[in-house]
Structure 1
Amino acid sequence: MVERKSLADDRDKRDNRKQTGMFGEAAACDYLLSKNYSVLERNWRCRSGEIDIIAEHEGRLVFIEVRARKQNGRFGTAAESVDRRKQQKVRETAQVYLRSADRSNASVRFDVIAITINRTDETIVECKHYEGAF
């Protein structure tokens, strides 16, 4: 007999993932501020998608995708989860931001910050910043 999951189980998993993501984004912002980045936007949204963090560093606009994963997860590392499709989505959304902010001529870079979280005590095990990731 196959055990069926309830809708509440699915909701709990989504809520847990959302909490992990919010925790990771907060940690990424703290990291960026410690490295003298100016955080301009968090969770900037438009019709085409969302950009986790938009920052400025040394005169360059930096679009940052944040991925947070629990340690020893089944689905690979946080950085590995930023696939080609996600990269394209971030690029398209960045174009919308650049037009809306009247910064179409800005120098830009696309980074990934991968946060690894300890399963047991919910502390950050690792924060990796991949500058110019795509």
Structure 2
Amino acid sequence: MAEHNDFGQLAEDLAAEFLSKKNYKILARNFRYQKAEIDIVAEFEGIIVVTEVKARSYNTLIEPQEAVTKKKIKSIVMCSDFFMNERKIDKEVRFDIITVLPDEQGVLQLNHIEDAFQSFDAN
């Protein structure tokens, strides 16, 4: 596996652990439908939380969450709809982003952006 894929997997592992510690119940990881993928699906206080993990192993001019484009949002929403229908879940859905970036000392920092986008943003 390429080094950037290893880092992406580490970031997703850290994000899932972070959510679990905040009492989120992880329902699925790397859920795929067609060419779309959801990094983490969790439940928290009766809400389904679909989380996109964006990580950078170095500091860039663009914030990681800015890489979640309208096309990516549309893909996540489509995949989420399939997940909900397949599992017959009828609950509110929230879309979050967790960014993973190193600080000045190289220590990875997580930033949880709740309600980062709405499903209607993809239209």
Aligned twin of 2:80:
94
Is residue 101 of structure 2 the alignment partner of residue 116 of structure 1? yes
Equivalent-residue separation in structure 1 for 2:4 and 2:20 (angstroms): 24
Q: Give 1:107 deviation, angstroms.
A: 1.0
Runs of 4+ off more than 6 Å: none
Secondary structure of 2:112's counterpart equals strand
The correspondence for 2:41, drawn from 50, 54, 60, is 54
Q: Give 1:34 deviation, angstroms.
A: 1.2
Structure 1 range deviating more: 84-93 or 112-121 = 112-121
Secondary structure of 1:133's counterpart equals strand
- Asked whether the equivalents of residues 48 and 92 of structure 1 are also in contact (C-alpha less than 8 Å), the reply is no
The correspondence for 1:71, drawn from 51, 58, 62, is 58
Normalised to the residue count of structure 2, the TM-score between the two structures is: 0.87
Secondary structure of 2:77's counterpart equals helix
Report percent identity of matched pairs: 32
Equivalent-residue separation in structure 2 for 1:119 and 1:27 (angstroms): 19
Q: Which runs of 5+ in 2 are unaligned?
A: 118-123
Q: Give 1:128 deviation, angstroms.
A: 0.6
C-alpha distance after superposition, 1:53-99 (max 9, x if no partner): 0000001001000011123236x221111111111110011001011
- Asked whether the equivalents of residues 68 and 117 of structure 1 are also in contact (C-alpha less than 8 Å), the reply is no
- Asked whether the equivalents of residues 27 and 43 of structure 2 are also in contact (C-alpha less than 8 Å), the reply is yes
- Asked whether the equivalents of residues 59 and 102 of structure 2 are also in contact (C-alpha less than 8 Å), the reply is no
Aligned twin of 2:121:
none
- RMSD of aligned C-alpha atoms? 1.8
Normalised to the residue count of structure 1, the TM-score between the two structures is: 0.80
Equivalent-residue separation in structure 1 for 2:7 and 2:64 (angstroms): 12
| Greater radius of gyration (CA) | 1
